Amino acid sequence: MKKTKSQYWNWIDIALRSTLFLILPGFLLIYVFYQVLFNVELTLYWLTVFLAWTGVVKWMIEKYEHRSLNEPLPTFEGIERLMTTENWEILDRTMDSMVIRPTFDFPFNLLLNDKVTVQYADGRVSIQGPLQYLNVFLQEIRGDKKIEKKKNWTVPGIILSVFAISLPILLDGGLWREMKIFYHNAFASEEVQIEVPEEGFMGNSAENILGSGFGAENEDFVFYIENNEIIKTNKNFEEREVLLDSQGATRMNLNVVGDYLYFTNYDELKRVPINGGETETIYDMEVLTEVQIKDDWIYFTSYEDNSNLYRMDLNGGQIERLLNEYVSKFSVYEDKILVSYEENQALRTDRLSLDGSEQTRLLNEDTFKLLEWEGYYYYLDPGSKLYRSKVDGSGKTEQILYENVRNYTITDQGIFYSIYQSDLTNTQNGVYLTDHEGKEREKLFTTTNVTDFATTEQGVLFQSSGFSGRPRVYDYSTGEVRVID
């Protein structure tokens, strides 16, 4: 059927009324609610918004477009008795016509041009108005259906509809995550409440967290990950014991806190007694990366939330965001956090207070895997060259290594680093040791693709895909590399 100009104008009218009086108020209500409750700004994805708007407008037009219908009726007299009086208000009445409006279908009966015109001639009643109300009127005068006003209260339906429309926006804007965090903080409760052993305590060093936290130590033991098993050994890497077998997901980010060892198990943060026992899951909302513990707090980046920087307490509660940026790496120190993050397609480094309340620019250069050591910042540039600059800002930035560094760590003995080229026959591939100025270097071991380093009191652990994930150790006392038996 060919559409008339009046029909198109009716569709436009419905679209405008739906947008101004239904969609926008509903969206703004949700926006303000979550802004006040979670302090989160929505990220608008316009394609999602357009598709949601189109769906709502299409539904409104199909239901409420103006139509004309007619029905055989022997006489116009008594038609008012056939109408459910509580559902209709008579605005005008003549011998053979009337104008009525619905009092049900709130709030749509207020948003739309909802008048229904009824005319009688030649044994037929003709009605014009929104299709939804025409159908209800005809059902009533036929006696097919009585619409009870109390069953047409649609506020719960409206709330559900607005929520469904807004759900993609809520998800894209990160509000679903904020609701989960709100719930987690409100109800998280662990049977064992861990307390920090001492003021200034660190669960693992920044140098080890830079190496995915595959190794950690306390005063008596060294812990490391081998083929996804968590191994416990003494300081001399003897008396090896499997603390947790390989059953589980990818384990990383070891931290020792008192009598417990914390670690990530893909999308879970777990802890296990260092003397053996049942593991306990304290957080399982998402994949955590760069997990580092300082005093009462666990610092981490959220894979789900665009690598933003967060912290939570030692028992998995009080989760809070510290930095709303895409963080590549961060290092926690005594009184600060050094954070490298993306800004305008560059990597910048800022200094944050431990609670995130203060933030200052540290370096404007492209920095990656930044560490602080004895008055210098060490970091890799986009070309994987190692640089250092003084903490006090004096002097010029120095390039101390000219090779493409795969990984590195810093100790009192010097800088341990690895070189990896995709050409596996490259004779440069392996582990090296250089002084802190990069002036002298020594090749310690030839291997491919060293993935992680971990510093300990007695030596440096490193693991490589070149020997099936079995770690080796560079022993400070002998200056030799050996397999951990």
Ranges 364-368, 370-374, 375-379: which has the least confidence: 364-368
What is the structure's pLDDT at 398?
94
Quick one: average pLDDT of 241-256?
89
What is the structure's pLDDT at 22?
83
Q: Is the pLDDT of residue 467 over 60?
A: no
Quick one: average pLDDT of 28-42?
64
What is the structure's pLDDT at 8?
85
Instruction: Provide the percentage of residues in the chain whose pLDDT is more than 70.
Output: 85
Q: Is the pLDDT of residue 166 over 70?
A: no
Better pLDDT: 47 or 100: 100
Quick one: average pLDDT of 32-46?
61
Query: Are the C-beta atoms of residues 337 and 354 closer than 8 Å to each other?
Result: yes
Better pLDDT: 182 or 231: 231
What is the structure's pLDDT at 150?
43
What is the structure's pLDDT at 76?
77
Better pLDDT: 427 or 298: 298
Rounded Cα gap, residues 52 and 132, in angstroms:
22
Q: Is the pLDDT of residue 425 over 90?
A: no
What is the C-alpha R_g of the chain?
34
Query: Are the C-beta atoms of residues 331 and 206 closer than 8 Å to each other?
Result: yes
What is the structure's pLDDT at 311?
94
Question: Residue 69: what are its φ and ψ, rounded to 5°?
Answer: -135, 160
Quick one: average pLDDT of 302-313?
89
Ranges 138-152, 367-381, 459-473: which has the least confidence: 138-152
Better pLDDT: 174 or 72: 72
Residues 6+ away with beta carbon under 8 Å from 210: 329, 331, 369, 371, 407, 409, 453
The overall pTM is greater than 0.75: no
Quick one: average pLDDT of 248-267?
90
Confidence category of residue 37, pLDDT binned at 50, 70, 90: low
Confidence category of residue 208, pLDDT binned at 50, 70, 90: very high
Better pLDDT: 207 or 424: 207
Ranges 60-69, 191-200, 449-458: which has the least confidence: 191-200
Ranges 82-91, 269-278, 288-297, 436-445: which has the least confidence: 82-91
Ranges 148-162, 230-244, 395-409: which has the least confidence: 148-162
Rounded Cα gap, residues 438 and 417, in angstroms:
11
Q: Is the pLDDT of residue 163 over 70?
A: no
Quick one: average pLDDT of 389-399?
91
Q: What is the average pLDDT value for the chain, to the nearest integer?
A: 83
Question: Residue 445: what are its φ and ψ, rounded to 5°?
Answer: -160, 140
Quick one: average pLDDT of 255-283?
92
Quick one: average pLDDT of 46-51?
75
Confidence category of residue 55, pLDDT binned at 50, 70, 90: confident
What is the structure's pLDDT at 152?
43
Confidence category of residue 351, pLDDT binned at 50, 70, 90: very high
Ranges 97-106, 259-268, 288-297, 348-357: which has the least confidence: 97-106
Where b means 16+ CB within 10 Å and e means fewer, 108-128 reads: bbebbebbbebbbeeeebbbb
